Amino acid sequence: MTASVRETSSAGQGPMKTLMKNCSDPAAGLAFSSVNGAPTRTREAIRPPSGYEGFLSRRQAAAALGFASEFKVRRLEQEGRLRPVRGVMGSAWYPRAQVQALRDELTAPPSVAVATGLTPSSPARWSDAQLIAHLRSRARAVDGSAGSRTRTPVDLVADTGISIARAERVYRFWLAHDTHPIAVEARGGPAPASRTRAAPVERRSDARMERDVLLQQMRDADPTVRAAAFDKLRALR
């Protein structure tokens, strides 16, 4: 009984061993590839759209702007400071000149940044020389009119973000030692010659001034005034 069971078991294992051997033998055509094998096909880089070969991808734009990730590039795009061209799979491509201009704008010194409406990221970037140069420029009038005025320590604090103590110290030094016309005006002296406006000189002839007065009267609400002005204008012709 025991011998017959052993013979049956060994007889059943024969075909199984042959199948396993054929599966592992490449010559048999039944070999299976390993599931952990590395793929032979490599991922191709996405190219810019046709006609925009010189444009930069979002990753390249981040590297050119000095960003560690593409998140800030997306934020600049949402702010409208970068305008991409869309490529395949929704990829974004930016003009090289636009990225370079934005890089120059982000790395501009504080004096240039204020002129373009930007505020430096750190008050420590403002040197004393840059603060004095800022004081030498004029600020807009408080009432928002087209006039201008000399800057004050409050303007230094508001425009540059420095402390009040430093703004007062720099302002006192500038006011006491600078001979710039703006500093002279801030000390109560006469305004610069370029700021003083002489009375306009009348260049029109008497006949031209009379005609302009009559034309103004033609817009009067009184019809008798308009009629009289019309008769005088017709007589001048």
Specify whether the CB–CB gap between 169 and 162 falls below 8 A: no
Q: Is residue 94 part of a domain?
A: yes
Residue 112, pLDDT score: 45
Question: 126 and 70, same structural domain?
Answer: no
86 and 131: one domain? no
Task: Give yes or no: residues 167 and 117 share one domain.
Answer: yes
H or E stretch at 57:
strand 56-57
Contact 125, 171 (CB under 8 A): no
Split into its structural domains, the chain has a count of 2
Is the confidence at residue 3, as pLDDT, over 50?
A: yes
- Backbone φ and ψ of 219, nearest 5°: -95, 5
* One domain, residues 97 and 162: no
Distance CA(203)–CA(212), nearest Å, equals 13
Establish if 74 belongs to a structural domain.
Answer: yes
pTM for the model stands at 0.34
How many Cα atoms sit within 13 Å of 7 on the Cβ side?
Answer: 4
pLDDT, tens digit, 9 for 90 and up, residues 72-129: 888 888 888 888 888 888 888 888 888 888 888 777 655 544 444 444 445 557 888 8
In a domain? residue 220? no
Domain hosting residue 156, numbered range:
110-186
Chosen domain end from 88, 106, 124: 106
Torsional class of 177: left (φ above 0), alpha (ψ -120 to 50), beta (otherwise): alpha
Please tell me the least confidently modeled range out of 56-70, 146-160, 199-213: 199-213
Per residue in 12-25, pLDDT tens? 556 566 656 555 55
Question: What is the rounded average pLDDT for all residues in the chain?
Answer: 74
Together in a domain, 128 and 61: no
Q: What is the chain's length?
A: 237
Same-domain check for residues 135 and 165: yes
Return d(Cα 162, Cα 134) in angstroms, integer: 13
In a domain, 195, yes or no: no
Alpha helices in the chain (DSSP H): 2-24, 58-65, 71-78, 96-106, 110-115, 128-135, 153-160, 164-177, 181-186, 206-217, 223-236
